[in-house]
Amino acid sequence: MIIPTAPVHEPPPIPGVRRSRVTARGIDFHVTEAGDPDGLPVLLLHGWPGHHYTWRHLLCDPPPGLRLIAPDLPGYGWSGPPPHRWFKREIASDLIALMDALELERVLLVGHDWGGFVGHLMVLDASERFHAYMPLNITHPWNTPRTLAPHLWRFLLYQPALALIGYPLMRHTSVVAKAIGGSFVDRSAITREEIAWFSERFRAPVCARAGTDTYRTFWRYELRAGAREPERRRSTVPTLALFGACDKAVHHSLAAAETANADDYRLELVYACGHFIAEEKPALVRRRLEDLAAQFT
Protein backbone atom coordinates (compact mmCIF):
# COMPACT_ATOMS: atom_id res chain seq x y z
CA MET A 1 0.00 0.00 0.00
CA ILE A 2 1.22 3.51 -0.83
CA ILE A 3 1.66 5.78 2.18
CA PRO A 4 -0.09 9.11 1.53
CA THR A 5 2.30 12.07 1.65
CA ALA A 6 -0.26 14.89 1.32
CA PRO A 7 -3.85 15.49 2.41
CA VAL A 8 -5.65 12.53 0.85
CA HIS A 9 -8.61 13.45 -1.35
CA GLU A 10 -10.18 10.00 -1.70
CA PRO A 11 -11.20 7.72 1.19
CA PRO A 12 -9.03 4.66 1.88
CA PRO A 13 -10.00 1.48 0.04
CA ILE A 14 -12.09 -0.99 2.06
CA PRO A 15 -13.32 -4.07 0.17
CA GLY A 16 -17.07 -4.39 -0.28
CA VAL A 17 -18.21 -1.11 1.25
CA ARG A 18 -20.88 1.24 -0.07
CA ARG A 19 -20.29 4.97 0.09
CA SER A 20 -22.76 7.85 -0.09
CA ARG A 21 -23.21 11.49 0.76
CA VAL A 22 -26.15 12.48 2.93
CA THR A 23 -27.17 16.00 3.93
CA ALA A 24 -28.54 16.39 7.44
CA ARG A 25 -28.90 19.54 9.56
CA GLY A 26 -26.84 21.49 7.05
CA ILE A 27 -23.92 19.03 7.04
CA ASP A 28 -22.66 17.10 4.02
CA PHE A 29 -21.98 13.72 5.63
CA HIS A 30 -19.73 11.11 4.06
CA VAL A 31 -21.22 7.72 5.01
CA THR A 32 -19.61 4.31 4.58
CA GLU A 33 -21.77 1.20 4.85
CA ALA A 34 -21.22 -2.55 4.74
CA GLY A 35 -23.19 -5.71 5.36
CA ASP A 36 -26.84 -6.58 4.82
CA PRO A 37 -28.80 -3.50 3.62
CA ASP A 38 -31.90 -4.98 5.27
CA GLY A 39 -30.12 -6.11 8.44
CA LEU A 40 -30.14 -4.67 11.94
CA PRO A 41 -28.61 -1.18 11.61
CA VAL A 42 -25.47 -0.51 13.62
CA LEU A 43 -24.24 3.10 13.79
CA LEU A 44 -20.45 3.35 14.31
CA LEU A 45 -19.02 6.64 15.60
CA HIS A 46 -15.26 7.29 15.56
CA GLY A 47 -13.27 9.73 17.69
CA TRP A 48 -10.16 11.88 17.39
CA PRO A 49 -7.88 11.51 15.48
CA GLY A 50 -9.98 9.26 13.31
CA HIS A 51 -12.63 8.82 10.67
CA HIS A 52 -14.64 5.86 9.37
CA TYR A 53 -11.43 3.87 8.70
CA THR A 54 -11.34 3.26 12.47
CA TRP A 55 -13.94 0.55 11.78
CA ARG A 56 -12.18 -1.07 8.80
CA HIS A 57 -11.91 -4.50 10.45
CA LEU A 58 -15.69 -4.65 10.86
CA LEU A 59 -16.50 -2.97 7.55
CA CYS A 60 -14.42 -5.35 5.44
CA ASP A 61 -15.97 -8.42 7.11
CA PRO A 62 -19.38 -7.41 8.51
CA PRO A 63 -21.14 -9.85 10.86
CA PRO A 64 -24.08 -11.63 9.18
CA GLY A 65 -27.43 -9.91 9.51
CA LEU A 66 -26.02 -6.49 10.35
CA ARG A 67 -26.04 -3.25 8.39
CA LEU A 68 -22.96 -1.32 9.46
CA ILE A 69 -23.12 2.46 9.03
CA ALA A 70 -19.96 4.47 9.69
CA PRO A 71 -20.29 8.22 9.07
CA ASP A 72 -17.36 10.58 9.25
CA LEU A 73 -18.23 13.00 12.04
CA PRO A 74 -18.80 16.65 11.02
CA GLY A 75 -15.55 18.15 9.76
CA TYR A 76 -13.71 14.83 10.06
CA GLY A 77 -12.65 12.47 7.29
CA TRP A 78 -14.61 13.33 4.16
CA SER A 79 -17.63 14.97 5.80
CA GLY A 80 -18.21 18.67 5.47
CA PRO A 81 -17.85 21.01 8.45
CA PRO A 82 -20.74 21.72 10.80
CA PRO A 83 -22.44 25.15 10.63
CA HIS A 84 -21.76 25.54 14.36
CA ARG A 85 -18.96 25.06 16.88
CA TRP A 86 -18.00 21.48 17.77
CA PHE A 87 -20.14 21.36 20.89
CA LYS A 88 -20.79 17.74 21.73
CA ARG A 89 -24.53 18.31 22.25
CA GLU A 90 -24.77 19.91 18.83
CA ILE A 91 -22.92 16.99 17.23
CA ALA A 92 -25.32 14.59 18.96
CA SER A 93 -28.22 16.47 17.36
CA ASP A 94 -26.44 16.37 13.99
CA LEU A 95 -26.18 12.59 14.20
CA ILE A 96 -29.82 12.13 15.24
CA ALA A 97 -30.67 14.19 12.15
CA LEU A 98 -28.45 11.90 10.06
CA MET A 99 -30.39 8.91 11.41
CA ASP A 100 -33.60 10.63 10.30
CA ALA A 101 -32.18 11.31 6.84
CA LEU A 102 -31.17 7.63 6.53
CA GLU A 103 -34.64 6.61 7.77
CA LEU A 104 -33.16 4.73 10.71
CA GLU A 105 -35.90 4.41 13.30
CA ARG A 106 -33.75 2.54 15.81
CA VAL A 107 -30.13 1.40 15.83
CA LEU A 108 -27.52 -0.43 17.83
CA LEU A 109 -24.96 2.27 18.67
CA VAL A 110 -21.17 1.93 18.99
CA GLY A 111 -18.90 4.88 19.72
CA HIS A 112 -15.18 5.35 20.36
CA ASP A 113 -13.41 8.27 22.07
CA TRP A 114 -15.26 11.56 21.35
CA GLY A 115 -17.70 9.62 19.20
CA GLY A 116 -18.36 7.55 22.31
CA PHE A 117 -19.05 10.63 24.43
CA VAL A 118 -21.37 12.01 21.76
CA GLY A 119 -23.04 8.59 21.73
CA HIS A 120 -23.79 8.88 25.45
CA LEU A 121 -25.52 12.21 24.79
CA MET A 122 -27.52 10.73 21.90
CA VAL A 123 -28.72 7.92 24.16
CA LEU A 124 -29.78 10.43 26.83
CA ASP A 125 -31.45 12.72 24.28
CA ALA A 126 -33.42 10.06 22.40
CA SER A 127 -33.39 6.73 24.23
CA GLU A 128 -36.22 5.37 22.08
CA ARG A 129 -33.91 5.43 19.03
CA PHE A 130 -31.41 2.89 20.41
CA HIS A 131 -31.58 -0.84 21.11
CA ALA A 132 -28.33 -0.80 23.08
CA TYR A 133 -25.07 1.11 23.30
CA MET A 134 -21.43 -0.01 23.27
CA PRO A 135 -19.03 2.84 24.13
CA LEU A 136 -15.31 2.14 23.66
CA ASN A 137 -12.56 3.79 25.73
CA ILE A 138 -14.42 6.89 26.73
CA THR A 139 -15.63 8.43 29.97
CA HIS A 140 -19.31 8.35 30.74
CA PRO A 141 -21.05 11.74 31.21
CA TRP A 142 -21.76 11.39 34.93
CA ASN A 143 -18.29 12.24 36.23
CA THR A 144 -17.94 15.09 38.72
CA PRO A 145 -14.98 17.36 39.55
CA ARG A 146 -14.19 14.93 42.37
CA THR A 147 -14.00 11.87 40.09
CA LEU A 148 -12.20 13.78 37.34
CA ALA A 149 -9.59 15.46 39.53
CA PRO A 150 -7.22 12.49 40.04
CA HIS A 151 -6.98 11.98 36.27
CA LEU A 152 -7.00 15.55 35.00
CA TRP A 153 -3.23 15.38 34.52
CA ARG A 154 -3.76 12.92 31.67
CA PHE A 155 -5.85 15.46 29.79
CA LEU A 156 -3.34 18.20 30.52
CA LEU A 157 -0.58 16.24 28.75
CA TYR A 158 -1.98 16.90 25.29
CA GLN A 159 -5.46 18.41 25.20
CA PRO A 160 -4.65 22.08 25.98
CA ALA A 161 -2.04 22.10 23.20
CA LEU A 162 -4.61 20.73 20.75
CA ALA A 163 -7.15 23.30 21.90
CA LEU A 164 -4.69 26.19 21.49
CA ILE A 165 -2.54 25.29 18.48
CA GLY A 166 -4.06 22.07 17.19
CA TYR A 167 -4.60 23.50 13.70
CA PRO A 168 -0.91 24.00 12.83
CA LEU A 169 0.11 20.92 14.83
CA MET A 170 -2.16 18.63 12.84
CA ARG A 171 -1.42 20.23 9.50
CA HIS A 172 2.34 20.60 9.74
CA THR A 173 3.72 18.13 12.29
CA SER A 174 3.57 14.40 13.04
CA VAL A 175 1.44 14.86 16.18
CA VAL A 176 -1.42 12.69 14.86
CA ALA A 177 0.85 9.84 13.81
CA LYS A 178 2.62 9.92 17.17
CA ALA A 179 -0.66 10.06 19.10
CA ILE A 180 -1.92 6.96 17.33
CA GLY A 181 1.31 4.96 17.25
CA GLY A 182 2.05 5.61 20.91
CA SER A 183 -1.36 4.41 22.07
CA PHE A 184 -1.02 0.73 21.18
CA VAL A 185 0.23 -1.99 23.51
CA ASP A 186 0.67 -4.29 20.52
CA ARG A 187 2.35 -1.99 18.02
CA SER A 188 2.02 -4.66 15.32
CA ALA A 189 -1.77 -4.21 15.40
CA ILE A 190 -1.51 -1.15 13.16
CA THR A 191 0.80 -0.41 10.25
CA ARG A 192 2.51 2.81 9.18
CA GLU A 193 0.28 2.80 6.12
CA GLU A 194 -2.87 2.64 8.24
CA ILE A 195 -1.66 5.42 10.53
CA ALA A 196 -0.96 7.56 7.47
CA TRP A 197 -4.59 7.38 6.34
CA PHE A 198 -5.48 9.22 9.54
CA SER A 199 -2.52 11.54 10.00
CA GLU A 200 -2.43 12.79 6.42
CA ARG A 201 -6.15 13.49 6.33
CA PHE A 202 -5.71 15.88 9.26
CA ARG A 203 -3.40 17.98 7.09
CA ALA A 204 -6.57 19.10 5.31
CA PRO A 205 -7.72 22.46 6.72
CA VAL A 206 -11.32 21.35 7.38
CA CYS A 207 -10.20 18.32 9.39
CA ALA A 208 -7.52 20.18 11.34
CA ARG A 209 -10.05 22.88 12.19
CA ALA A 210 -12.63 20.34 13.37
CA GLY A 211 -10.07 18.49 15.47
CA THR A 212 -8.93 21.72 17.10
CA ASP A 213 -12.48 22.87 17.79
CA THR A 214 -13.33 19.49 19.33
CA TYR A 215 -10.85 20.24 22.14
CA ARG A 216 -11.24 24.01 22.20
CA THR A 217 -14.97 23.84 22.93
CA PHE A 218 -14.29 21.24 25.63
CA TRP A 219 -11.70 23.34 27.47
CA ARG A 220 -13.29 26.76 26.95
CA TYR A 221 -16.90 25.85 27.62
CA GLU A 222 -17.91 22.24 28.24
CA LEU A 223 -15.57 21.36 31.09
CA ARG A 224 -16.71 24.35 33.16
CA ALA A 225 -20.35 23.92 32.19
CA GLY A 226 -20.21 20.30 33.29
CA ALA A 227 -18.79 21.31 36.66
CA ARG A 228 -21.56 23.90 37.18
CA GLU A 229 -24.39 21.70 35.93
CA PRO A 230 -23.40 18.03 36.01
CA GLU A 231 -25.33 15.52 33.92
CA ARG A 232 -28.29 14.27 35.94
CA ARG A 233 -30.32 12.43 33.34
CA ARG A 234 -30.53 8.67 33.73
CA SER A 235 -29.84 6.28 30.84
CA THR A 236 -32.43 3.59 30.21
CA VAL A 237 -30.59 2.06 27.24
CA PRO A 238 -28.64 -1.17 27.94
CA THR A 239 -24.95 -0.22 27.82
CA LEU A 240 -21.83 -2.37 27.60
CA ALA A 241 -18.67 -0.27 27.88
CA LEU A 242 -15.45 -1.85 26.61
CA PHE A 243 -12.22 -0.27 27.80
CA GLY A 244 -8.60 -1.04 26.95
CA ALA A 245 -7.09 -1.07 30.43
CA CYS A 246 -3.70 0.30 29.27
CA ASP A 247 -5.18 3.50 27.86
CA LYS A 248 -2.74 6.36 28.53
CA ALA A 249 -5.21 9.11 27.63
CA VAL A 250 -8.33 8.13 29.58
CA HIS A 251 -8.46 6.14 32.81
CA HIS A 252 -11.01 3.34 32.99
CA SER A 253 -12.31 4.54 36.38
CA LEU A 254 -13.98 7.42 34.51
CA ALA A 255 -16.22 4.82 32.86
CA ALA A 256 -16.98 2.93 36.08
CA ALA A 257 -20.36 1.27 36.53
CA GLU A 258 -20.46 2.48 40.15
CA THR A 259 -20.71 6.12 39.08
CA ALA A 260 -22.91 5.60 36.00
CA ASN A 261 -26.45 6.92 36.31
CA ALA A 262 -27.99 4.13 34.30
CA ASP A 263 -30.47 1.28 34.63
CA ASP A 264 -28.27 -1.29 32.85
CA TYR A 265 -24.57 -0.40 32.53
CA ARG A 266 -21.63 -2.79 32.48
CA LEU A 267 -17.91 -2.09 32.12
CA GLU A 268 -15.59 -4.73 30.67
CA LEU A 269 -11.87 -4.07 31.03
CA VAL A 270 -9.72 -5.42 28.21
CA TYR A 271 -6.18 -6.05 29.38
CA ALA A 272 -3.04 -5.71 27.22
CA CYS A 273 -4.91 -3.14 25.15
CA GLY A 274 -4.58 0.61 24.73
CA HIS A 275 -6.88 3.39 23.58
CA PHE A 276 -7.69 2.19 20.07
CA ILE A 277 -9.52 -0.97 21.07
CA ALA A 278 -11.44 -1.44 17.79
CA GLU A 279 -8.09 -1.69 16.00
CA GLU A 280 -6.01 -3.46 18.63
CA LYS A 281 -8.66 -6.03 19.62
CA PRO A 282 -11.00 -6.19 16.59
CA ALA A 283 -12.03 -9.82 17.17
CA LEU A 284 -13.18 -9.05 20.71
CA VAL A 285 -15.11 -5.95 19.62
CA ARG A 286 -16.76 -8.01 16.89
CA ARG A 287 -17.80 -10.75 19.35
CA ARG A 288 -19.29 -8.27 21.78
CA LEU A 289 -21.16 -6.55 18.96
CA GLU A 290 -22.53 -9.87 17.74
CA ASP A 291 -23.60 -10.76 21.29
CA LEU A 292 -25.47 -7.47 21.66
CA ALA A 293 -27.06 -7.75 18.22
CA ALA A 294 -28.27 -11.27 18.91
CA GLN A 295 -30.66 -9.84 21.52
CA PHE A 296 -32.48 -7.80 18.87
CA THR A 297 -32.50 -10.07 15.79
Closest Cα to residue 256, out of 117, 153, 140, 152?
A: 140
Query: Which homologous superfamily is 18-294 in?
Result: Alpha/Beta hydrolase fold, catalytic domain (3.40.50.1820)
CA distance 112 to 72: 12
H or E, element range at 209: helix 205-217
Q: What is the mean pLDDT of residues 250-275?
A: 98
3-state secondary structure of 262: strand
pLDDT at position 7: 58
Cα separation, 45 vs 181, whole angstroms: 20
**pLDDT for 179-200, tens place per residue?**
999 999 999 999 999 999 999 9
Look at the alpha carbons of 170, 171, 175, 179 in this order and tell me if their dihedral is positive or negative. positive
pLDDT at 294 (0 to 100) = 97
Where are the chain's structural domains? Answer: 18-294
pLDDT at 237 over 50: yes
